[in-house]
Structure 1
Amino acid sequence: MDTENKHKASNIEALTFLLPRLGAASHIYTGKAAGLGVTKENVMALVTLRDDFPDLADIENGLLHLIFNEPKEKSDMIMESLSKALQTVVNVYEHSSIALCGSTLSSLWNTDIAIVEKQIEQQQCKLRDINDELREASNSYEMTPFNGASPEYVALLERKLERYKADYDKERHILDGLYSQKRKLSEQLSHIGNDLFGDIYSQCSALLSSVRRYFDTTVSDDHDNENVEMVSVLTYFPMHLVSKIYELCNGSQFKEMDEVDFFHAINLHPDSHLLQINPGEKVRVCYLISRLGTTLGTPSKEEWTNAILSRLDIKSQFYRSKYRQPVSDMPSEANAEFAAAIKEIFDK
């Protein structure tokens, strides 16, 4: 293959590598933002994408090769798939980065590391026991020339030595395998880095800008809107708003919880922790719910309001009769202060 053809092949390989991995990444980002969590396999797939992300110039050359050398239907299909995956990653991250970056991915390895360390400890004990037996048998065997041992006894000791040596080698091999497992887990952990989701977001954002230069912007914008809508369905309230509410209400209106858990809970994400209202705070929580509801359109407002009331065990009749108390004509001092703080958050 001549140099020019090799160069073309490498450009196409960049796209071939990227497309399926970006598709997988978009699903991982969407699921994580929705509170579904990630697996170690998901994390390692993202690590591979980040570490082996093709050079931008190679990708652009591959795109140009598609545009000029492939049928328009084929090139449009590939460009559309690439654009859609990139936009999903970018949009989900920009909308829900607190959910993506607020958890420690390394914790996914804690159980496996604890298990293998326990197995290593047990295997070391087993080896020590075998080694003690081997040493005792070896000492006995070495003394046979001096203690008048019978040939039968010498033969017995020799068989013992052979068996203990075989057992030791076998168990040592198992221990070496456990050490190898631990090294592999440690290597995987070392490759994750401090901001895996953010790193891939930066790579995808840069590539998306390039793709938009070559791909029909009308189609691209349509998909962008679709992805924004998709993320909105998954997440009712953006991280910047939830973060401010968390700062105000965590430990006050609600029992203390982690900020990421609060983000998932307020957005009704699957498997999220339950919010717990502190005593005497139900009326102020009702007011908060009403203000959050004003940021949602129909039917999301009714859908979210009914769901959050159900989760918090607040009756609809109580909610309707109490949610305006903090902004009534004669609110209590605590209610007035809370309403003012909420107003400051929502009016910014």
Structure 2
Amino acid sequence: MNRRSVLRGVGAGLSAAVAGCFGYFETESVWSGAPLVEDRPDAVYLPASVEEMASYGTRDLADGSRCSLHFTFPHRFWTVTGSTKTRVEVAESDSMHLMVSVWDPVTGVVLPRQPAGTLLSDGDPVESYQLWSMLAQRMGYHFGNNVSLPGEGEYEVRVDFDPIGVRTAGAFAGRYQQAESASFQIDFDSSDVLDLSIDEIPADRRGTRAATEPMTGMGPPPGQVPPASDLPGTPLGTGSSADASIVGRLLDEPPAGIEGTGEYLAVSMRTPYNRIALASSSLAARIDGSSVDLVETIDDGLGHHYGVVLSDSLQSAPTIEVATPPQLARHDGYETAFFDMPSVDLEEP
């Protein structure tokens, strides 16, 4: 089913209203009516539907990273500030949901570097877009927002990336420290969005504790971290906190580029089912009554993780405490998970 089918199903009056005076759709009355699962668990769950997405292409940045620009229907999402989430509804002026990903093309590791979007017409800026760091079941970890365009036609979308906002280690040590930008030429036609498909999930599966498969084959990786069995180091067990999987590893020494000598405690926090990295959180480890902060880091072997060089050899089981839940906006299926996160006891090495 696509949005044209939705419009046919709601009657001529609404179709005319959606067509609007600008000759392209104004979608609040249609897309904000997409069902939200009732009786949702405080966990990852299957939403009522999944939407197709399309691409405006990929670009290589000067520092060796790669970025892409995708779009789909405008739809609701939730922003997160501290432990508070705020629902963002579709506005009448929204033309599409715009999505940006940036990653290392060699390893596939998605890079947490904040972008901002600018829409230009004939070289002149006409709109500025805030892009939230986001979590979605199909797109994974990305940046996005509902955006409005003045009308159909040709535009340039310039995406400006900040230097990376986390510690870099291993093959990434010292990289992505400068701002970068990329430009995409787009020819906006409302039919490109209207003709995207919407796949409904059977009613008896909606709200069950599961997740749809991440998108593959469209360019950007979804931000998955390695399976626990593939992580380097000594296993320290796995726990769950507010449905987040927390995996501990102990390395004999820190990855290249991290200062200090001694053992390295690494904690990988990921979604269940799809192993999407849960970034932008604050973690600490309590060891023998003392607490030490874990630093958000990307490494080619560990992927996205939180880690610290230990001053003494680890002899006891560390307890992982989550001071701040992932500061990621959420799409349907993730907005009830990863809040009020209790501590997790790992195992002795």
> Which category describes the TM-score, using the shorter chain as reference length?
under 0.3
Bigger strand fraction: 2
Give 1 or 2 for the bigger CA radius of gyration.
1
Bigger helix fraction: 1
- TM-score, L = length of structure 1: 0.24
